[in-house]
Amino acid sequence: MAISYWRRRDRYYRLLGNKCTRCNAEYYPPVYICRRCGSESLIDAEMPGTGKILTYTILREVMSGFEGQQPIIIGIVQLDNGVKVLGQIVDTPIDALKIGCKVRTVFRKIREESSAGQIYYGYKFTVLC
Amino acid sequence: MAKVIVASVGYTRVGDHWDKSILDLAVEASKKALKPYPNIRPEVIIVGNMFSSQSSRQEHLGALLASALNLTRTPAFKVEAACASGGVAFNIAYNKIRSGEVSSALVVGVEKMRDLDTPEASLALSMAESAEYTQFIGASFLSLNAMLARLYSETYNVSRDELSAFPVIAHSNAATAEHAQFRKAISVEDVSRSPLVSDPLRLLDCAPVGDGAAAVLLASDAFDEDDGARVDVLSSKISTNIFSVYERDDMLKFDATRDAASKAFSEAGISVEDVDVLEVHDAFSVTAALSVEAMGFSREGEGAKDAAKGIYALRGRYPALTFGGLKGRGHPVGATGIYQIIELWLQLKGRGNANQVKGCRIGVAQNIGGVDTTSVVSVLARR
Amino acid sequence: MPLNNSLIPFKGWVNFGLKTPKNAAIAGYGVYIPRYRLPSVEVARIWRGGEEAPLIKKAVASLDEDITTMAVEAARRAIKMAETKELGAIFVGTETKPYAVKPTSTIVAQALNQHKVLASDLEFACKAGTEALQLILALIGSGMIESGLAIGVDTAQGRPGDDLEFTAASAAAAYILSKRDVGSIAVVEGASSYVSDTTDFWRRAGQQYPRHLSRFTGEPAYFYHIQHAVKNLFDEFGYKPSDFKYAVFHQPNPRFPVEVALRLGFNLEQIKPSLLNPYIGNPYAANSLLGLAVVLDEASPNDLILVCSFGSGAGSDALSIRVLDGVEEKRRKAQNKVRDMIEASVEIDYATYAKLRGKIVA
């Protein structure tokens, strides 16, 4: 986990996806081949930091590795460039959550291996409205 | 092309098997499937399993099982396609016989889930999804389906009670199914009163965690069966979708299922109306609804509503989940696809007992891995 | 030489204090205050049998926040305000590092996509933030870098039931400093530091919570060092209290900054705008830099601001900061005021606080 996290840290820290140089389609997670035009010429592209909630859930039983964080709110957010991104939604009271709520990215701790292990950071979302 | 026959079946009850290992379970189901035909030595053994490495620290299941069955020298291997592992294993065996490469095959689906505690099982299941972008952020498989359920309910104005219809049907059928994990009927009120696990999904929207093994012995039509009603495999098709649901343009379209069903139905020469019994992948209430829509049994947005109208009940137009489905019979993930084939076999053979769909001739099984990421649709017929 | 183009009259060579470079200036600032507030009455309810408590709310970081995440949030706001493309140095001043060994500054650098930087973490209890700022200033003044980022940040924690628990808070303040230009917000005119070996508050390696000599906190520690640093600054640069529109002091509680201000000859009008302790508590290394930020949110060009930090152990950095014309345009664009973050808050009870700050042993 420590190395696979390191490999993707720019993806997680900066919401760094990619973009087709031929048709400008943008992706997060990044793709290997453009889904729209088939081009293999893609360059890294930072995603916009704001969007809106398309759907969400309050997960009350978390996976191994996330113990102590429950409940966690998870949403699928459509960013301002149209790209859909999965992420946790934080600092938001459950009754304030609605489909269509505006959100922005924040930099947060995702989880830690243990009190002696590595800490993994990444993007999450927080509600603006 | 050779015809492919489901000659015999073997299975364990789904649930807690504290006293049995993954191999114990696989051997038990295999022996039952092999027993009626001691003269058939399967020419290939294919094991469908998702996460034996997680649950049992065991891989290499093909040779492990072949050796345990005293069938060394037989080609044997495991195939994995998340919750569709069983369906995919069946598809490969079917095609090997159809092509003439072999004339018999033992297909075994097995999963040992109860050795894992709930957070560990949840992590193991999340491996069906992207480790880097779904699992990393803490989104379990349950949470993805919950988000789909919210989107589905909002988009098509589906009520809580309508969403509960599939679990109610599943449990109603499981109540009289001997191999089911939950032999207990539930009401729509039971579903809406059950604890929220990932809003809007409640505990009774979700298939349980259970151990189980299911095996089928497939043979070519050269095989001569003695008890009359023969069950033929008419077609089996696998399709795949864009990997994660949030990467898809329309998250409410199960395109892998749509594609696999349309190809499987076309090859079998059937249409939706010809189907007498239907095993759908009801891992969650919403999954069942989107599946019947993708296969054409219900119109878009009508799957759950149709279930609430009784269309998928045992005596409905398209009897579904006839022994409880994933929700009621249980969902030992790698074995599920094989349980579905076995349940169609029981129906088509007329061995359904209290769960028998009268006069059924054509059965369809749909087995999904991920959120419709892999889908296997197979058509079986009584001859 | 260094004082030739100073904005204040040349007072002759001095043998103490710091000659700050006048070609370097604050180009942007950003703060981050976490959303949750724990009222001190809650701490009193649990640990003092509900006896009366000072009317303080302290800012509490969520369970997925630490100094790294808050530093990144504050830094991103500062960079946006400064419109800086490239940084030459990143210093993070803190005493609550999540890693005892491994720099926070490199995580911040990665998150900001800034790699050609001199990066380091600084520790000096509550004054590591003003130290970071001065080091960046010096690097720019010497010509080693064009611009840099100084952050003061802490997730301060008091042992459950300890006096410190009423106020120990979480927040971050980040400053971008660059070569002075028309967009500059403020320039540091003078600086003076004063330190001594005074053990008023400490945390031994491997310990979770700090300890303190409670009676020692005021006179020999806080007041002694702040008064010395400020007096030296005055002596060196010829300031008097009335030269300053604002005075910002380290605020461990609501009382100390007021008292030290009065002792030094300031009045309440000068100190009031920066008094944040009742609303957010004491976020240690972010403390005085937050006070500066809230003042910069309202100051006018040419205003003079005194900032004096205090760090246990002990020492103070006194800085005189002149507001420049660029402040108005930058503020207008940034649309991001400290008081907005103070207000966008949610009160929590002690149980929630215990969960968020890892005080429940599962």
CB contact under 8 A, C62 and A121: no
pLDDT over 80 (residue A17): yes
CB contact under 8 A, C107 and A109: no
CB contact under 8 A, A84 and B118: no
Domain extents in chain A: 2-127
Reported as a pLDDT band with limits 50, 70 and 90, residue C17 is: low
CATH number of the domain within which B49 lies: 3.40.47.10
Give the percent of chain B with pLDDT over 70: 99
In a domain, B41, yes or no: yes
Q: What is the pLDDT of residue B227?
A: 64
In a domain, B179, yes or no: no
Q: Would an 8 Å CB–CB cutoff place C336 in contact with chain A?
A: no
Residue numbers of C between 10 and 39 with CB closer than 8 Å to A: 35
Residues of B in contact with A88 (CB under 8 A): 137-138
Give the pLDDT confidence of B171-183 residue by residue, as tens digits. Answer: 999 999 999 999 9
User: Which chains does chain B touch, 3 or more C-beta pairs < 8 A?
Assistant: A
Reported as a pLDDT band with limits 50, 70 and 90, residue C214 is: confident
Q: How far is it, in rounded angstroms, from Cα B261 to Cα C325?
A: 69
- Tokens 């049994």 belong to B297
Q: How far is it, in rounded angstroms, from Cα B97 to Cα B103?
A: 5
pLDDT over 50 (residue C8): no
Give the pLDDT confidence of A25-37 residue by residue, as tens digits. Answer: 999 999 999 999 9
Residues of C in contact with A110 (CB under 8 A): 64
How does the average pLDDT of chain B come out, rounded? 97
Reported as a pLDDT band with limits 50, 70 and 90, residue A114 is: confident
Mean pLDDT of all residues in B289-306:
98
Q: What is the pLDDT of residue C50?
A: 85
Chain A: give the shortest CA distance to residue C260, in Å: 37
Give the pLDDT confidence of C305-349 residue by residue, as tens digits. Answer: 999 999 999 999 999 999 999 999 999 998 889 999 999 999 999
| Domain of B112, in residue numbers | 4-116+209-220
CB contact under 8 A, B246 and A85: yes
Mean pLDDT of all residues in B214-233:
85
Candidates C32, C36, C37, C64, partner chain A, best to mutate (most A CBs within 10 A): C64
Q: Is ipTM beyond 0.90?
A: yes
Q: How many CB pairs under 8 A join A and B?
A: 111
Report whether B258 contacts B272 (CB < 8 A): no
Q: What is the pLDDT of residue B224?
A: 67
What is the domain count for chain B? Answer: 1
Peptide bond just before C257 cis, omega within 30 deg: no
Give the percent of chain B with pLDDT over 90: 97
| Whole-angstrom Cα Rg for chain C | 19
Q: What is the pLDDT of residue C284?
A: 97
Residues of A in contact with B195 (CB under 8 A): 60
Give the pLDDT confidence of B187-205 residue by residue, as tens digits. Answer: 999 999 999 999 999 999 9
Q: How far is it, in rounded angstroms, from Cα A13 to Cα A72?
A: 19
Reported as a pLDDT band with limits 50, 70 and 90, residue C21 is: confident
* C95 labelled catalytic: yes
CB contact under 8 A, A68 and C107: no
Q: Would an 8 Å CB–CB cutoff place B119 in contact with chain A?
A: yes
Euclidean distance between the first and final Cα of chain B, in Å? 18
Distances (CA, A) of B252 to A71, B205, B266, C227: 25, 18, 24, 67
Distances (CA, A) of B187 to B166, B191, B288: 11, 7, 17
A interface with C, Cβ–Cβ < 8 A, is 9-10, 13-14, 67-69, 88, 90-91, 93, 106-110, 119, 121, 124
Q: How far is it, in rounded angstroms, from Cα C195 to Cα C293?
A: 25
Q: Which of A74-78, B41-45, C211-215, C259-263 comes out lowest in average pLDDT? A: C211-215
Q: Would an 8 Å CB–CB cutoff place C340 in contact with chain A?
A: no
Report whether B368 contacts B374 (CB < 8 A): yes
pLDDT over 90 (residue C55): no
Q: Would an 8 Å CB–CB cutoff place C110 in contact with chain A?
A: yes
Reported as a pLDDT band with limits 50, 70 and 90, residue A53 is: very high
Nearest chain A residue to B139, by CA: A74
Strand A26-27 relative to strand B76-79: parallel, antiparallel, unpaired? Answer: unpaired
DSSP annotation string for B140-206? -HHHHHHHHHHHHHHHHT--HHHHTHHHHHHHHHHTT-TT-S------HHHHHHSPEEETTEEGGGB
Mean pLDDT of all residues in B220-246:
89
In a domain, B81, yes or no: yes
pLDDT over 60 (residue C10): no
CB contact under 8 A, B136 and A60: no
Residue C287 structure tokens: 């403390």
CB contact under 8 A, A119 and C99: yes
Q: What is the pLDDT of residue C53?
A: 78
pLDDT over 80 (residue A102): yes
* CATH numeric code, A2-127: 2.40.50.840
In a domain, B101, yes or no: yes
Residues of A in contact with B119 (CB under 8 A): 61-67
Q: Which of A79-93, B92-106, B216-230, B339-353 comes out lowest in average pLDDT? A: B216-230
Give the pLDDT confidence of C147-199 residue by residue, as tens digits. Answer: 999 999 999 989 999 999 999 999 999 999 999 999 999 999 999 999 999 99
Mean pLDDT of all residues in A44-71:
96
Residue C110 structure tokens: 């990665």
Q: Which of A76-80, C216-220, C222-226 comes out lowest in average pLDDT? A: C216-220
Q: How far is it, in rounded angstroms, from Cα B145 to Cα B139?
A: 10
Q: Would an 8 Å CB–CB cutoff place C362 in contact with chain A?
A: yes
* C51 labelled catalytic: no
Report whether B285 contacts B133 (CB < 8 A): no
Q: Which residues of B belong to the active site?
A: 83, 331
Residue A37 structure tokens: 């035009």
Q: What is the pLDDT of residue B223?
A: 75
Considering C65, C95, C131, C189, which one is annotated as catalytic? C95
Distances (CA, A) of A93 to A58, A110, A125, C36, C348: 11, 19, 13, 12, 12
Helix H or strand E encompassing C121: strand C118-122
Q: What is the pLDDT of residue C129?
A: 98
Report whether B355 contacts B173 (CB < 8 A): yes
Q: Which domains does chain C have, with CATH numbers?
A: 24-184+330-356 (3.40.47.10), 186-325 (3.40.47.10)
In a domain, B376, yes or no: no
Q: What residues have CB less than 8 Å from B327, skipping those under 6 apart?
A: B166, B167, B170, B171, B174, B182, B204, B206, B207, B208, B282, B285, B321
pLDDT over 50 (residue C2): no
